[in-house]
Amino acid sequence: MEQGAIKPTRGDGRKRTVRPDETVLQVCGVSKRFDIPAEKVQTLKERVIHPRRRSYRKLEALKRVDLDVKNGEFLGIVGRNGSGKSTLLKCIAGVYQPSTGTIAARGRMATFIELGVGFNPELDARDNVILNATLLGLTAAQSRAKFDDIIAFAELEEFVDMKLKNYSSGMQVRLAFSVALQTDAEMLLIDEVLAVGDAAFQQKCFDVFDRLRAEKKTVIFVTHDMQMVVRFCTRAIMLERGEQVAAGDPEKVARAYTELNMARASGAGVAVLPKHQAGAAEILECWAEDAEGVATKLVVPDTWFSIKTKIRFDTEMEAPIFALTILDQEGALAFEAAASSSGFAQSQFYAGDEIVYEVRVRNCFGEGQYRVSPSVSHADGTLVAALDGSLTSFASAGSGRSKGYVTPIFEQNLIG
């Protein structure tokens, strides 16, 4: 370990006074490899007769990851499935030992990584709370003293005497998370098992996250939910195939994650879209831009963004109508705008003219994917050109609204 690095103190259970700017976690050059059998041994006889026949392939889940976390940070770890997020969290928690590199942590950790870890399905809630809390560093007396609060937060008062094997997955996750919160640990490690809880319990968890941020608790949070990253995290990192490929501002990392997913799905990044021609005009491109004018596939809550449509006229047109429709991922109408060019500075267009129709919207959309369909019509409403909504889309990190649409504040411009 480098000189000046913090010393590992995981699991000793002693309280320490930690400065607000002090580093409480150092991950230095951590790699993790797994040996995956290349062939399956079917019988015990095969294993005994040919003990060395089995071959393995190396799976490098993490590749030289470096990470420093300061006291009071709310760090989000994002990445696609198989990127190494949970592996990194388990290495930090001590569930896995790194193949190379070092991890040093200061203070007591509370880990909430896998549903049911530390629970005995044959025991009731009371015994499991005491068992699980003891594993997390509390004494049996402390566990019993906090038991009522744990059960109340989990909303399981009616099921205290029921064996855990009869609990639903949602009931188990509520109990496990409630126990983790009562340990008064300096650092919480949370994987995305909160998705198992129902909407009401998730809202309680969000309230807890707000409190943890206000109390300057150190939280390391693995998630696919970019809305939560933007809302709660003070910093974020993104992993891709075991390597750290982005770090810093949560909004920028969330945008990078969404753009990576969309690029993988389409085979490209933000690209020029195929044109749709219907005689008098062509729609050449349609794209979204953030408030700084940078092309984006992700818009964040309560910020202005633009949807721009580039149009070329093939014949002369007078006072065409420009329109834009936004549908959610279920095909429901989320937003529409339309304007006659007679309301702009230019209303007469000639063959070869190219303009950009811009709609600036303040994002109040809920979290999810949205399809954009721009169109151009004659003044009498006859459709001239349109673009299929499946060809262009954007993702919203959410506005905190779970469902329901409101009319966004928006502006329309024509750029010649």
Pick the CATH number of 23-108+185-262 from 3.30.70.60, 3.40.50.300, 3.40.109.10, 3.30.930.10: 3.40.50.300
Query: Both tokens of residue 175?
Result: 């109990």
Going by pLDDT thresholds of 50, 70 and 90, the confidence category of residue 336 is confident
Give the CA diameter of the chain.
86
Going by pLDDT thresholds of 50, 70 and 90, the confidence category of residue 354 is very high
Q: In this predicted structure, what is the pLDDT of residue 15?
A: 46
CB 270, CB 308: distance < 8 Å: no
For residue 62, give Cα distances in angstroms to 31, 88, 158: 5, 7, 43
Q: In this predicted structure, what is the pLDDT of residue 8?
A: 38
Judged by average pLDDT, the poorest of 113-127, 192-206, 310-324 is: 192-206
What pTM did the predictor assign? 0.60
Query: Both tokens of residue 179?
Result: 């126990």
Mean pLDDT of the chain: 79
Identify the helix (H) or strand (E) that includes residue 309. strand 304-313
Q: What class does CATH assign to 276-415?
A: mainly beta
User: What's the mean pLDDT in 256-263?
Assistant: 67
Higher pLDDT, 8 or 162: 162
CA nearest neighbour of 190 among 200, 180, 179: 180
Domain boundary assignment for the chain: 23-108+185-262, 276-415
Say how far apart CA 27 and CA 90 lie, in whole Å.
Answer: 12
User: Is the pLDDT reported for residue 235 higher than 90?
Assistant: yes
Going by pLDDT thresholds of 50, 70 and 90, the confidence category of residue 400 is very low
User: Is the pLDDT reported for residue 263 higher than 60?
Assistant: no
Identify the helix (H) or strand (E) that includes residue 176. helix 169-181
User: What's the mean pLDDT in 277-289?
Assistant: 79
| DSSP code at position 123 | S
Q: In this predicted structure, what is the pLDDT of residue 132?
A: 82
Q: In this predicted structure, what is the pLDDT of residue 48?
A: 66
